[in-house]
Structure 1
Amino acid sequence: MKWYLDFGHGGKDSGAVGTYNTKESDVVLKIGMIIKENLEKHNQKVITTRQNDKYYSLDYRSKKANENKCDYFVSIHMNAATNKLAKGCEVWVYDEKSKVYTLSKNICTNLSKAINTLNRGVKVSKKFSVLRKTKMPALLIEIDFISNPSVESNLSLEKYIKDISSSISSTLLSFANNL
C-alpha cells in the first residue's frame, strides 16, 4: 500500500493560529510525521508533501500524489472557528461513493474516542482542491479546533499528540489490512 500524507499548510502559510499562537502547520507536521513512522513500521510505503516547515501549493500536493501513483491520499489539518467553544473532529471526502467513506467514518469515531472530542462526522465537498484533483481516493481530516483554547492547550502535551497519531495510524492500518 502506498499512502500520500499531506500535512496541511507550511512555511509562509501557517494555517489557523490558536489563541496562544500555536500554528496549525506545526501541529499537523508533528502529528503527521508520527503517523508516517507508524505506517512505515508496518511495511506501508509513505510519500509526504513536506517533512519540515516549507510551503507547497495545493496543485503541487495533488500533482505529487498523482505522479507517485499513491493508493490513498490523506490530508491532515486542524479546524478553526470564531466560536472559541467549537470542538470536534470531522473528515471530508469528495463524495459519498468514495472508497474511503467508511474509513473516514472510522477515523472520526476512533479519533473522537481517543481524544474525547465531539464526532462531527463525515462531510462531503467538491470544493477542496486536494480532494478534487487527486486521482486516488482522498480524505481530509480536521482533527479538532485549534481555535478552542482547551484543545490548543492539549496540543502541547506529548500524550495528546501521541493519542491523535496512534488513533489515525491504527485506523489507516486496519483499513489497509482489510483490503
Structure 2
Amino acid sequence: MKIALVIGHNKRSKGAYSQIVGSEYDYWKRVAEKIKTVVPELVDIYEREPNEYYTREMYKVLEELNSKDYKLCIELHFNAAENKMANGCECLVYYTNDKAKKLATNFMARLQNVFGSKIRGRNGIIEIQDSKVRGGYGICKSKDTYILVEPFFGTNNDESLKYSVESDVVNLFVNFIKEI
C-alpha cells in the first residue's frame, strides 16, 4: 500500500521562508520528487492547485486522496518564528488516531537520531480536533491516517543547515516509508 506525500503550500502561497533552503513549497516539492524517484512504487505526490481559498485548494486534494487507499498521508511543512532560535520538530495528528500518534512519534525519533532534532513540547504531538484549526483540514477530512510534519524551523539557520542536505532528508523519508 502506498504513502501519499502532500506538499505544503503551493506556487501562489509558498509558506514559510528559510534563507538556507528557500520556501516551504519549493523545498518540499524538490524533496518529495526525489523521494518519488527512489521509491516510485510506494509514493504518490499531491500538490494544492492555487485557488482563491485554502479550503478550496485542500478540498480538491482531499477529494482525490479519499478516492484511493493509503497506508499514510504525510503533509510536508516546516516551521517559522520571529525568534530565530526557535527549534525542534512536531507533528499534527487527529486527536483520536492512535496509529497517527505512533507513526508521528516514530518519525520524530528518526529526526532526533539523524539530525539531532529536539522534540517540541511534551512529546511533539499536536492533537487536532477541528478542520478549521491550522493544518486541520487534511487531518480531519482524510479517510486515511494523516500526519502533518514540521521537522524544523526554517527561520533558524543552524537548524535549516542540517536539513539543507536534501539527500539526508530523502534517505530519512525513504527508510521511514519502507519500514512502516
TM bucket (normalised to shorter chain) is: 0.7 to 0.9
Residue 16 (structure 1) shift: 0.5
Instruction: Quote the residue 1:112 is aligned against.
Output: 112
Instruction: Quote the residue 1:48 is aligned against.
Output: 45
TM-score (norm 1): 0.83
Residue 2 (structure 1) shift: 1.9
Alpha-carbon distance in 2 for matches of 1:21, 1:70: 29
Alpha-carbon distance in 2 for matches of 1:140, 1:173: 19
Residue ranges of structure 2 left out of the alignment (5+ in a row): 52-56
Instruction: Quote the residue 1:76 is aligned against.
Output: 76
Q: Percent identity?
A: 23
Residue 64 (structure 1) shift: 1.4
Instruction: Quote the residue 1:147 is aligned against.
Output: 155
Instruction: Quote the residue 1:10 is aligned against.
Output: 10
The aligned length equals 167
Amino acid at match of 1:12: R
Alpha-carbon distance in 2 for matches of 1:21, 1:33: 16
Instruction: Quote the residue 2:176 is aligned against.
Output: 171
Amino acid at match of 1:61: V
Residue 65 (structure 1) shift: 0.5
Alpha-carbon distance in 2 for matches of 1:154, 1:75: 20
Residue ranges of structure 1 left out of the alignment (5+ in a row): none
Alpha-carbon distance in 2 for matches of 1:153, 1:171: 21
3-state SS of 1:37 partner: helix
Residue 154 (structure 1) shift: 4.5
3-state SS of 2:87 partner: coil
TM-score (norm 2): 0.82
Residue 106 (structure 1) shift: 0.8
Residue 21 (structure 1) shift: 8.3
Alpha-carbon distance in 2 for matches of 1:74, 1:20: 23
3-state SS of 2:78 partner: strand
Alpha-carbon distance in 2 for matches of 1:31, 1:49: 13
Q: Is the 8 A contact 2:21 2:154 kept in 1?
A: no
Q: Is the 8 A contact 1:108 1:122 kept in 2?
A: no
Q: Is the 8 A contact 2:3 2:177 kept in 1?
A: no
Alpha-carbon distance in 2 for matches of 1:21, 1:108: 20
5 Å-filtered alignment, 1:82-121, equals: 82-120=82-120, 121=124
Alpha-carbon spacing, 1:54–1:102, altered in 2? closer, same or farther (3 Å): same
Alpha-carbon distance in 2 for matches of 1:134, 1:90: 20
Instruction: Quote the residue 1:122 is aligned against.
Output: 125
Q: Is the 8 A contact 2:78 2:151 kept in 1?
A: yes
Amino acid at match of 1:28: W
Q: Is the 8 A contact 2:115 2:162 kept in 1?
A: no
Alpha-carbon distance in 1 for matches of 2:141, 2:64: 11
